[in-house]
Amino acid sequence: MTKPEDFYTSDDSPGRRARSGMWRGIQRHTAPLQANKWFVSDRRSFVLGMATTVVIGLALVGTWTLTRQAFENAQPQPLRLERAYISAINEFEHVLPFVTAKVSQTPQSKEELTQRAQQLSLIDAAISQLRLQTNVIDLSPLIRERLRQLYAMKLQILQQMIERGEIDL
């Protein structure tokens, strides 16, 4: 077996002073950096990470939009038509304020106004009753025609009320 004394002499090892100098140099070069909270040390990976996040976010939004459109387009035409009527009525009612009677109206015009409000509530009740009686997905041609008539009547009453100035815009 070989012994270290056969290869190295005491002159080959650094002295105490040299060893302490080497260790001071090592400690000086390996001292931990004081990280700044507002400073990103690796800008390239930060920028790539942010760009990847944006791309993934846009891809998810696009996928969601395409999936929703594909689902809506897969529905039968009568159901899409009924939903179009419902959304048109809802938007129309949302834009217009509720029917209010003007102070300068005559008793006869006030009575007509209350009759129209009653007509609207009756039409709403008929629509909701007809929709409850049927399956939402399967609409027969007779039911579709009746719903279309009810929606048209409701829109016609609202249009007449606007033309006569019974609804303030």
DSSP codes of every residue in 133-164: HS-SS---HHHHHHHHHHHHHHHHHHHHHHHT
- Domain coverage including residue 159: 76-163
Considering the domain architecture, whether residues 80 and 49 belong to the same structural domain is answered as: no
Whether residue 68 is contained in a domain is answered as yes
Q: What is the pLDDT of residue 167?
A: 65
Considering the domain architecture, whether residues 53 and 92 belong to the same structural domain is answered as: no
Per-residue pLDDT band at 124 (split at 50, 70, 90): confident
Question: Could you tell me the end-to-end alpha-carbon distance of the chain, in angstroms, rounded to an integer?
Answer: 106
Question: What is the chain's length?
Answer: 169
Q: What is the pLDDT of residue 110?
A: 74
> Which residues are CB-contacts of 89 (< 8 A; sequence separation ≥ 6)?
151, 154, 155
Query: Among 103, 96, 136, which Cα is nearest to 120's?
Result: 96
